[in-house]
Amino acid sequence: MFHPVVDRWFRQRYREPTPVQAQAWPLIAAGHDVLLTAPTGSGKTLAAFLACLDRLFREAVDGRLEERTAILYVSPLKALSNDVRRNLEEPLRELADAAVAAGLAAPEIRTAVRTGDTPAHERRQVGRRPPHVLVTTPESLFILLTAESSR
């Protein structure tokens, strides 16, 4: 299901998927809407994101990764937004290293958080160079969608 580099990275890092991951990935990869519920520490972040990150990884190594936001994660809490981004950064770094080890160009898959606490210079950066993965809150998403500069 995953690119060989992504699959190898996952199996070396985690050995096998958790039940929530095994159930979610085929559905997400097929484009279905999915609601994940599982206990803390059960691998929900990778369950929700790895199939999507795999798609971005494939586009990047094929030279087709566009300069646009492809994944939008809306979090009800600012603190959770920051946690989600942190939980994505390490796998993305490790996947870039795994790509290089496999003789591929390191994919540059960017993430950003946009909340009410995001400094103005970072908000401008998101507008100038959109991240591939944007983590935001409902309030900040509303501002992004209705701001004059977003049109």
pTM over 0.85: yes
Instruction: Return mean pLDDT, the chain.
Output: 91
Q: Is the predicted pLDDT of residue 150 greater than 70, yes or no?
A: no
Domain that holds residue 108: 4-150
pLDDT over 60 at 151, yes or no: no
Q: Domain containing 125 — which CATH number? A: 3.40.50.300
Inform me whether the pLDDT recorded for 149 exceeds 80. Answer: no
Q: In the chain, what percentage of residues exceed pLDDT 70?
A: 97
Contact in structure between 20 and 2 (CB atoms under 8 Å)? no
CB atoms under 10 Å from CB of 142, counted, come to: 11
- For residue 121, CA distances in Å to 59, 117, 126, 128, 129 come to 28, 12, 9, 10, 12
Q: Give the whole-number percent of the chain exceeding pLDDT 90.
A: 65
- pLDDT at 56 exceeding the cut of 70: yes
Domain count along the chain:
1
List the beta bridge partners of residue 114: 136
